[in-house]
Amino acid sequence: MTAREAILARIRSARAGSGRQARADEPGAAYRIAGSLRGDARLALLGERLEEYGVRVGRCAPEEVAGTVASVLRARRAARVVVPAGVPAAWRPAGVTWLTEASGAQGGERLDLARLAVVDGVLTGCAVAIAETGTLALDAGDTQGRRALTLVPDYHLCVVLADQVVETVPEGVRRLEPAVREGRPITLVSGPSATSDIELSRVAGVHGPRILDVILVGGGPEGSRAGG
């Protein structure tokens, strides 16, 4: 049997649902579809992964978001910040010039690329965060806005709520199903934008923000593995 014939035979077998037993040397599909971490352990893992990517991570209680945002923005010297209209007012401290981007039926103006390029940064929420990979998923929801908001400015501050954090990629994909069904664009962010050329010279900020900060909000007492 030629290689082509072997490939076609496997395809026919799979399509027919023959129940063929996998050979010992074939890879299995025993990957995890659900996490086992609970409580604060998921947030701790997410924070650890993000920091490995060069992200500055902060933690705060829900009532401390505005104060924490103010502190982070001061440290970054960010005074003019874009924000999607759906971001809660409780996240926006005084002393910052907020440029509100229109979002659906909510108020605000649509900022052109020239204005987005000269602001000090953007503040958004997220749709879901995946702890295992340190990934933030944006689905163009009201707290995230259109893609340009998080791709053009050089600095991105993202607020992540404890109940938005899952452990595994399959769990994150399931959370994104509604947005996919609605046809909204999905942006996956794992650290600040960076790339390298053929000589492995690393360049930051080519495909998005050069600097990414994350504030993790809420979370219970130190968690552990389920059953542990």
Domains of the chain: residue spans and CATH: 33-217 (3.40.50.10420)
Q: Which of 139, 134, 145, 130 is nearest to 186 (CA)?
A: 139
Residues 204-214, mean pLDDT to the nearest whole number:
79
Q: Is residue 21 within 8 Å of 13, Cβ to Cβ?
A: no
Residue type, 77: R
Residues 171-195, mean pLDDT to the nearest whole number:
89
* C-alpha to C-alpha distance for 155 and 158, rounded to whole angstroms: 10
Contacts of 223 (CB under 8 A, 6+ apart): 37, 38, 39, 40, 41, 42, 44
pTM reported for the whole predicted model: 0.78
Q: How confident is the model at residue 104 (pLDDT cuts 50, 70, 90)?
A: low
Give pLDDT, residue 223.
36
Give pLDDT, residue 219.
78
Give pLDDT, residue 79.
96
Q: How confident is the model at residue 76 (pLDDT cuts 50, 70, 90)?
A: very high
Q: How confident is the model at residue 42 (pLDDT cuts 50, 70, 90)?
A: very high
Sign of CA dihedral 220, 226, 227, 228: negative
- Number of residues that this document lists for the chain: 228
Give pLDDT, residue 55.
93
Give pLDDT, residue 28.
58
